[in-house]
Amino acid sequence: MPSMASNASETANQLNGTKADFFARRQKIEQHRKSLPIATVEKRLLEEVSNNGVLIIVGETGSGKTTQLPQYLFNGGFCRNGGIIGITQPRRVAAVTVAKRVAEECGVALGQKVGYAIRFEDVTSSSTRIKYMTDGLLLREALLDPYLSKYSVIIVDEAHERTVHTDVLLSLLKTVQKTRSQGASDVVHYGHPKAEIGTLLEKENDVQSTNILKHNRGKKLSPLKLIIMSASLDAQIFSEYFGGARAVHVQGRQYPVDILYTHQPETDYIDAALITIFQIHLEQGPGDVLVFLTGQEEIESIERLVQERLPKLPESKRKLLVIPIFASLPSEKQMKVFMPAPVGFRKVILATNIAETSVTIPGIKYVIDPGMVKVRTYDASTGIEPLIIVKTSKAQALQRSGRAGREGPGKCYRLYPENEFYKLKDSTTPEIKRCNLSNVILQLKALGIDDIVGFDFIEEPDRMAIIKSMELLFLLGALTDSSKLSEVGHQMARLPLDPIYSKALIVASQFNCLEEMLIVVAMLSVESIFYAPREKLEESRTALRSFSSPEGDHLTLLNVYRASDEFLEKSKLVSSKEKAEKNLRKWCKENFINSRSLKHARDIHSQIRRNAEQMGLRLTSCGDDILPLRRCLAASFFLNAALKQPDGSYRALSSGLMVQIHPSSVLFRTKPECIIFDELVRTNQNYVRNVSRIDFLWLAELAPQCYALQE
Ligand SMILES: Nc1ncnc2c1ncn2[C@@H]1O[C@H](COP(=O)(O)OP(=O)(O)OP(=O)(O)O)[C@@H](O)[C@H]1O
């Protein structure tokens, strides 16, 4: 046993060591900050922000925009009067990791001067002055504080991604910025019947004018500085939208990235990616690899293939650590990709486009880009929102290659020939032009914006899409005859879910089956609960049968959730929480259930249950009597009803489309007369997924606005 004296000197040494490490790290960070291209223009940028209400900043990936500009502004006095610098990101993972990095650069604990807020997670405090957040979160904040009055500067980062939230946010910020630059102290207060919901825009004398002016009489608002940041060269569109706002370019990138192309187009990009992973591992020097794939299924299949092939390599070459990252992975799992690989190991990160912008994953030297991405599209004529795999845009390809070369020179392997790159679209079609707008419209209406067609979008969505989405909201009871938000609509807007799911929860509280519906909605919100490996198809089918309900997939999902819950609770009685969770993962494996998806569903479930409680919805259960739940499914998913045809296919009643029950459904063989479904997917034919049997007559009874029977 070491003596006290040696213990004390060890501690002192450790402390000295820690201190020395700390100072060395701080020095390294300071040097790094000074070496970034943006550091040479700090003073000029501060002048530009001072002189302009709206500024557009374009800079190469890695030039230091996201991490440095907020710090420059803070040091330049932009928080002097207690104002906050808010920086929005399209993705949660970027908001979290960049905030962590900036807190470290500032030498402060996360949540103090530097913090972040994402849906259901707020790591800020009253001393936070630099706040990273998702664009969706800032939109929700606008519901409570239409002036966004606590912010002195708002930076919309990665604006070129043009997510629907970014687009809507830009429109709102345009109004807020203009209003605040005029000051709001001398305006009349008309109040608002719903105190928490501010009216942002109102049509007056045929001019879109703002009603923000009418809010909070006498509240002296300071001007808001608005900064739009983008890595690609589409500054023009933003500049025009903001009335010829000034745009500045930050030149230069930190490290070079070598771009390599294939000679021929690849017929199977999954296989090509797999080969490239092993080529890099066997032939290239140290450095981690980041591979861009289109979704969870692709990622998990490559993960399995790499694991299968690794044992075939010589022992000394097996130190390859595969780590996945995709949106539906719980955040603590997502954070694993940011941890260094154990000594001697090479990390291979399999990512969706979640890792495409803003994030810096330490250690990445090689990027593999097959050039594909999965996007949601929207067909307004049928109301279908198929997910399709398409080629990336040039802007996306540049972003992806930009993930290498952040800590040193890097390489990017584009798995297509060079001439293909030049044929790519410059930038991605804005999401607002290719999505179902019902959620956006619900949010805008909740913000008090009633004239959706006249709304000042940066790029107008398709009129047909607006009409269809309004129609959907109307049929769901979210809008009144005069297109105002109804009481139900207000409730729906408070839930962070798709309108149909929100409606399902509200209806369920009336049908006394909210406990069950919360589980169903949580399970529907995640990707693929079941998995069926090709080599174990029969075993996986048998496992599925043990949970399956003759009434359909919704009840089957409910059975899975309950069985897992029961298993976990029993396990907790005899083992620690960690052990019980480990046991649950084993249980999932034995039952061919995707444990990651189940964990995600459990998280969503607790979140939406909290929401329901806060809204005062009645949390009752229908117990063993499943009839109310089935009727409730009909009362909420009635827009997705289909009737069997003589040939065994189905006709979707609202779109008239001919569809088939997906082979993964428990009703694939039974084929009941009338069904409701969760989702329509288009592959070689139209398939409906997550299907339940309903009684046709319920439709006219429960959704007369849609299915009133003719006399
Ligand atoms: N979490 C991190 N860990 C280590 N280094 C980081 C981290 N975040 C940023 N950096 C370093 O700071 C540099 C600048 O990053 P920053 O995100 O500010 O650039 P950017 O111009 O906003 O690029 P992008 O548009 O690609 O996000 C990176 O290239 C990297 O060297």
**In the predicted model, is pLDDT for residue 408 greater than 80?**
yes
Instruction: Please list, residue by residue across 642-678, b when 16 or more beta carbons sit within 10 angstroms of its beta carbon and e when fewer do.
Output: bebeeeeebebbbbebebbbbeebbbeeebbebbbbb
Kindly indicate the confidence band of residue 232, based on its pLDDT and cuts at 50, 70 and 90.
confident
pLDDT for position 628? 96
User: Whole-angstrom Cα distance, residue 549 to residue 667?
Assistant: 9
Span from the CA of 647 to the centroid of ligand 1 (angstroms): 58
The rounded Cα 396 to chain-centroid distance in angstroms is 17
User: Whole-angstrom Cα distance, residue 571 to residue 577?
Assistant: 8
10 Å Cβ neighbour count for 242? 23
CB of 571 sitting under 6 A from ligand 1: no
CB 63 within 8 A of CB 38: yes
**In the predicted model, is pLDDT for residue 411 greater than 60?**
yes
Q: What does pLDDT average to over the chain?
A: 87
Residue type, position 647, single letter: D
Question: Which residue's alpha carbon is at the smallest distance from atom 12 of ligand 1?
Answer: 64
Instruction: Please list, residue by residue across 596-630, b when 16 or more beta carbons sit within 10 angstroms of its beta carbon and e when fewer do.
Output: bbbbbbbbbbebbbebbeeeebeebebeeebebbb
CB of 362 sitting under 6 A from ligand 1: yes
pLDDT for position 401? 93
Pocket test for ligand 1, best of 360, 398, 401, 407 (most atoms within 8 A of CB): 360
Rounded to whole angstroms, the maximal C-alpha distance in the chain is 97
User: Shortest CA distance to 230 belongs to which of 46, 405, 402?
Assistant: 402
Span from the CA of 121 to the centroid of ligand 1 (angstroms): 23
Question: Which residue's alpha carbon is at the smallest distance from atom 18 of ligand 1?
Answer: 64
CB of 101 sitting under 6 A from ligand 1: yes
pLDDT for position 376? 82
pLDDT for position 451? 87
Complex ipTM above 0.90? yes
**In the predicted model, is pLDDT for residue 302 greater than 80?**
yes
CB of 68 sitting under 6 A from ligand 1: yes
**In the predicted model, is pLDDT for residue 202 greater than 90?**
no
pLDDT for position 709? 60
Among 184-188, 482-486, 531-535, top mean pLDDT goes to 482-486
Give the model confidence (pLDDT) of 597-610 as tens digits.
898 899 889 989 99
CB of 252 sitting under 6 A from ligand 1: no
Mean pLDDT to the nearest integer, 191-206: 29
pLDDT for position 233? 60
Mean pLDDT to the nearest integer, 669-692: 90
> Quick one: which atom of ligand 1 is closest to the CA of 403?
26
DSSP reduced 3-state for 480 = coil
Kindly indicate the confidence band of residue 196, based on its pLDDT and cuts at 50, 70 and 90.
very low
**In the predicted model, is pLDDT for residue 200 greater than 80?**
no
Give the model confidence (pLDDT) of 308-350 as tens digits.
999 999 888 889 999 999 887 767 778 889 998 898 899 999 9
Span from the CA of 98 to the centroid of ligand 1 (angstroms): 8
> Quick one: which atom of ligand 1 is closest to the CA of 100?
1
User: Shortest CA distance to 675 belongs to which of 643, 697, 639, 628?
Assistant: 643
pLDDT for position 50? 96
CB of 401 sitting under 6 A from ligand 1: no
User: Whole-angstrom Cα distance, residue 22 to residue 107?
Assistant: 10
Span from the CA of 361 to the centroid of ligand 1 (angstroms): 9
Question: Which residue's alpha carbon is at the smallest distance from atom 8 of ligand 1?
Answer: 360
Mean pLDDT to the nearest integer, 238-254: 88
Pocket test for ligand 1, best of 31, 67, 106, 161 (most atoms within 8 A of CB): 67
Kindly indicate the confidence band of residue 351, based on its pLDDT and cuts at 50, 70 and 90.
very high
**In the predicted model, is pLDDT for residue 362 greater than 50?**
yes
CB of 215 sitting under 6 A from ligand 1: no
pLDDT for position 184? 53
**One-character DSSP codes across 139-184:** HHHHHH-TT-TTEEEEEETTGGG--HHHHHHHHHHHHHHHHHHH-S
Give the model confidence (pLDDT) of 541-572 as tens digits.
888 889 999 999 999 999 999 999 999 999 99
Residue with tokens 């009871």: 477
**In the predicted model, is pLDDT for residue 187 greater than 90?**
no
Question: Which residue's alpha carbon is at the smallest distance from atom 30 of ligand 1?
Answer: 406
Is residue 17 classed exposed, middle or buried when 0-12, 13-18 and 19+ CB atoms within 10 A define those classes? exposed
Mean pLDDT to the nearest integer, 138-144: 86
CB of 89 sitting under 6 A from ligand 1: no
Mean pLDDT to the nearest integer, 155-173: 92
**In the predicted model, is pLDDT for residue 677 greater than 90?**
yes
> Quick one: which atom of ligand 1 is closest to the CA of 405?
29
Span from the CA of 26 to the centroid of ligand 1 (angstroms): 16
Pocket test for ligand 1, best of 35, 97, 406 (most atoms within 8 A of CB): 406
Give the model confidence (pLDDT) of 695-704 as tens digits.
999 999 999 9
Give the model confidence (pLDDT) of 624-648 as tens digits.
899 999 999 999 999 999 999 999 9
pLDDT for position 61? 82
Query: Which tokens go with 402?
Result: 């930009």
CB 535 within 8 A of CB 663: no
CB of 65 sitting under 6 A from ligand 1: yes
Query: Which tokens go with 59?
Result: 């800079």
User: Whole-angstrom Cα distance, residue 629 to residue 649?
Assistant: 25
Sign of the torsion formed by the C-alpha atoms of 132, 135, 136 and 142? positive
User: Whole-angstrom Cα distance, residue 652 to residue 699?
Assistant: 13
CB of 62 sitting under 6 A from ligand 1: yes
CB of 70 sitting under 6 A from ligand 1: no
The residue with greater pLDDT, 103 or 527, is 103
pLDDT for position 120? 67
Mean pLDDT to the nearest integer, 390-412: 91
Span from the CA of 37 to the centroid of ligand 1 (angstroms): 11
pTM of the model: 0.79
pLDDT for position 415? 97
**In the predicted model, is pLDDT for residue 191 greater than 60?**
no
Span from the CA of 38 to the centroid of ligand 1 (angstroms): 11
pLDDT for position 10? 47
Is residue 127 classed exposed, middle or buried when 0-12, 13-18 and 19+ CB atoms within 10 A define those classes? exposed
Kindly indicate the confidence band of residue 522, based on its pLDDT and cuts at 50, 70 and 90.
very high
Question: Which residue's alpha carbon is at the smallest distance from atom 9 of ligand 1?
Answer: 360
CB of 63 sitting under 6 A from ligand 1: yes
Question: Which residue's alpha carbon is at the smallest distance from atom 4 of ligand 1?
Answer: 362
Give the model confidence (pLDDT) of 42-83 as tens digits.
999 999 999 999 999 998 888 899 999 999 999 999 998 899
pLDDT for position 49? 97
Span from the CA of 140 to the centroid of ligand 1 (angstroms): 27
Judged by average pLDDT, the poorest of 3-7, 348-352, 539-543, 645-649 is 3-7
**In the predicted model, is pLDDT for residue 14 greater than 60?**
no
**In the predicted model, is pLDDT for residue 215 greater than 70?**
no
Span from the CA of 64 to the centroid of ligand 1 (angstroms): 6
Give the model confidence (pLDDT) of 414-453 as tens digits.
999 999 999 999 888 899 998 889 988 998 998 888 888 8
> Quick one: which atom of ligand 1 is closest to the CA of 67?
18
pLDDT for position 213? 39
Span from the CA of 203 to the centroid of ligand 1 (angstroms): 43
Mean pLDDT to the nearest integer, 93-120: 93
